[in-house]
Each structure stands twice: as structure tokens, then as C-alpha cells.
Amino acid sequence: MTQFGLSRRRRALATCVLAICTSALSTPLLAATNVAPTITGSPPTAAVLGHTYSFQPKAADKNGDTLKFSVVNKPKWMWFSTSTGRLSGTPQSSQVGHTFTGIRIKVTDGLAATALPSFSITVNKYNSAPKIAGTPTTSAVVGKSYYFRPTASDANGDSLKFSVSGKPGWLKFSANKGSLWGAPWSVSAGKTFSNIVISVSDGRATTKLAPFAITVKSATNHAPTISGTPVTSARVGQPYAFKPSAYDADRDPLRFSISGKPGWASFDGMNGTLYGTPGTANIGTFSNIVISVSDGKATANLSSFTVIVSNSTTKSVTLNWAAPTENTDGSALTNLAGYKVFYGTVSRQYSNSIRLTDASSTSAVISGLTAGTWYFAIESYTTAGVSSSYSGEVKAVL
């Protein structure tokens, strides 16, 4: 019998480390802690004679408290809402050329307050048209992502909106950011989409990016790759599992297939896992097993391998751990109900488990294990059915 233990303690509550258990279980707090409200937003820093200026900040409170807004150094020509935080107004000729500084908007939940950084507003006589720039990519490949986003600015600090004309049907467009994105369809191969124009507006003036075209090319497929070292032995009555790794440079969806599959095994065509538990009648050698992966256009094969099934010689392992004593919030753990022990022959893929209903348990004997490498983890659970996360993993070579 092999014995070993862990001496590692995790920060999360009752997350068992097989030598120390901490628990991800939480205990309700007796009193809530107030969280200060948040406020965000980028106020326009310019206003135009005779045109309405408006800024609406965004505010939130995690406690759900009612919020009130206030402002300091508000220009006299502006109006402010204490219930929404909106600052608005229309400057007159007497304000042209003036810069109103130190304006600051604050929000409070009655217990705590948060403020935006101070900002200024300069009143201009005329509106300045927004600017837009950028060099769009003029080619795209069937099935591959295309993306372009222009840069835009406005001297008056106005909010900007984007529009587009001549947009191909396979592209999407953001009116808030001006970005174009999408992947061309196969029917678009060889076509050129011309006179695409992206425009930006500040609500009073519009500026356009120079018209451009996108030519769609046919995709050049890259065959997927597959790798991995198959498990070549299996034991009667013990779970067997092997999962290869596969990659496709074109990010195409992959499907797996197999030839020479042993009758006692199953195969997952989604991830390529070969798994199963052989019986006494399956003792012997299973050769020429080949796992393949395809992207729908090309196929790659793993080298053929053999699995030898033999009678199992079982051994046992003793696991030891320390019981958890507190929850993740630091409070005492009072409703521990027991533990779940997980184990298997593949790291972090546990095909077996046992439940211990004695909360005072600090050890367990796992028997019936065949020769080879085994991996173990543990979690704790409460009388309310809440479980911790896995402990750190330990392994035993039998």
C-alpha cells in the first residue's frame, strides 16, 4: 500500500489540497458593506454658439442605492439635473471665446461620493467639421476575417456618429466606432466591391473617407495537424483513454475519425478521444489503430498504434489531508458534510470518484488500482450541497 499526502494550502475556501483543504464555500455576511457609486463619461470640451451642448454621464451603484448628482463651477448659461447628472445648455454670443474651467460632476449614494475628473468647455463661434483618417485593407480572403476601423476626431469635442455606403453584404458596420468587419463568402471570390465610403458626423457637419474597394480572393487551405503519444496498454476492468491534439492554421472546424478501433472502445468524433474499459474477453493485442482529423478539405493521420490489453494487478493508495476550517470570506466553516475523492489515469481527467460522508475524515484508501500512473484530487462539500473546487493534483506511480 502506498501512502502519501499533500501539504499545500489554497486560498479559496474548502479547496482541498489533499494535505490541506480550503473551501470555496461562502457564508452570508451579517452586515452589508457600502460600495461607493461609480461615474464615467467623456464630456465634450467645446461648445458652439447657438447650438445645444449636452453631456450625460453614466453612474451605477452596486448596493442599488438612490443616486444624487451635483456640479461645481457650472457655467451660468448651462442647466444641470441633480437626478440624472445631465449638463446642457446653449451658449450665446457673450460666451464666445471664453473657456469655462474646473467643471466637476459628482455622484453620491448618501454614504459615499465619486466624481469625474475636472474638465473645461471652450465656446467657439463656428463649428469645426470632424476629421477622419485611415488606410483600409483593399483585399480579403474567403472565410477569413476582415477588419478596418478609421480614426476620427472633432475639435469641438462633439459626439461622433459614423455611416457607410457601398458596404458589401458580407460585412457588418458599427455606427459608434466606424469599424467594418466580417468574412467574405465563397460566392464573393474573384469579385471587387467598389465605392465603399465611411463618413463621420458631429451632428452639424460630415466628413468622408476617400472611397475604397475590397477585392475578395479564394482561400488557400492549410491541412490540419494532429499529434500525441497514444497510451499503448490497457488493463481489464480499468478505464482507458487517449486524446490527441489537433490544430488548423485556418481555424476551420475539425472532425475526427478512426480506423481499427477496438470493439471494447468508444470514439468521440468531436475531440478525437478513444476511450473504454476492456473486459476479460478483450485480453490481447489490438493493432493498426489510426486516428485522423479533417477540416473538410484535407485530412491528417496520427501514426498507427497498438493497444495491448492484459489482466489487471490491483494496488491501493492512501490519501491524507487536513480538514478545511474557514470559508472564502474568512468566516468559520461550520457545516462541512464530507468529501469527494476523484482519480484517474489522465491528469485532470478523472474517470472515477468516491464520496465520503464523514466530515471528520482526513484520509481515504483507494484500492483496485492497476499498475501505472494515477492522478488524484479532492473537494469538500457542505450540508447545503455546496462544493469547493478541486484541490491541487497529486499522482502515484504504481
Looking up residue 198, the CATH number of its domain turns out to be 2.60.40.10
In the chain, the number of structural domains is 2
Report in angstroms the alpha-carbon separations of 357 from 17, 119, 336, 339.
18, 62, 10, 7
Which CATH number characterizes residue 69's domain? 2.60.40.60
Residues 6+ apart with CB under 8 A from 226: 244, 245, 246, 272, 291, 292, 293, 300, 301, 302
Q: What is the pLDDT of residue 303?
A: 96
Q: Is the pLDDT of residue 51 over 60?
A: yes
The answer as to whether 104 is a domain residue is yes
Q: What is the pLDDT of residue 91?
A: 94
The predicted pLDDT at position 155 comes to 81
Give the model confidence (pLDDT) of 225-238 as tens digits. Answer: 999 999 999 988 88
Considering the domain boundaries, does residue 179 fall inside one? yes
Question: 475524515: which residue's cell?
Answer: 361
Convert 241-260 to b/e letters by CB count within 10 Å (16 or more is b). bbbbebebebebebbbebee
State the pLDDT at residue 32: 61
Q: Give dist(CA 309, CA 235) in Å, integer.
A: 6
Mean local confidence (pLDDT), 38-62: 92
**Of the candidates 106, 124, 142, which is a domain's last residue?**
124
Range of the domain at 105: 50-124
Residue 155 inside a domain? The answer is yes
Q: Name the percent of the chain lying above pLDDT 70.
A: 92
Can you say how many angstroms the Cα of residue 186 is from the centroid of all Cα atoms in its chain?
30
In a shared domain, residues 57 and 106: yes
The residue among 347 and 22 whose pLDDT is bigger is 347
Final residue belonging to a domain, choices 169, 198, 217: 217
Selected residue with higher pLDDT from 157 and 318: 318
**Residues 111 and 58 placed together within one structural domain of the fold:** yes
**146 and 203, same domain (yes or no):** yes
At which of 62, 92, 124 does a domain end? 124
Rounded mean pLDDT, 284-309: 96
The per-residue pLDDT for range 252-263, each reduced to its tens digit, is 899 999 999 999
198 and 138 in one domain?
yes
Confidence band of 219 (pLDDT split at 50, 70, 90): confident
pLDDT over 70 (residue 8): no
In a domain, 391, yes or no: no
Give the pLDDT band (50/70/90) at residue 92.
very high
Q: Are residues 198 and 161 in the same domain?
A: yes
Per-residue pLDDT, 373: 92
Mean pLDDT of the chain: 89
Percent above pLDDT 90 for the chain: 71
* pLDDT band (50, 70, 90) for residue 18: low
Stretch 297-311: mean pLDDT: 94
Global pTM reads 0.38
Task: Give the model confidence (pLDDT) of 270-282 as tens digits.
Answer: 999 999 999 999 9
Q: What share of the chain is helix, strand, coil (3-state, %, to 5)?
A: 0, 45, 50
- Strand, helix or coil for residue 188: helix
CA within 13 Å, CB half, 340: 17
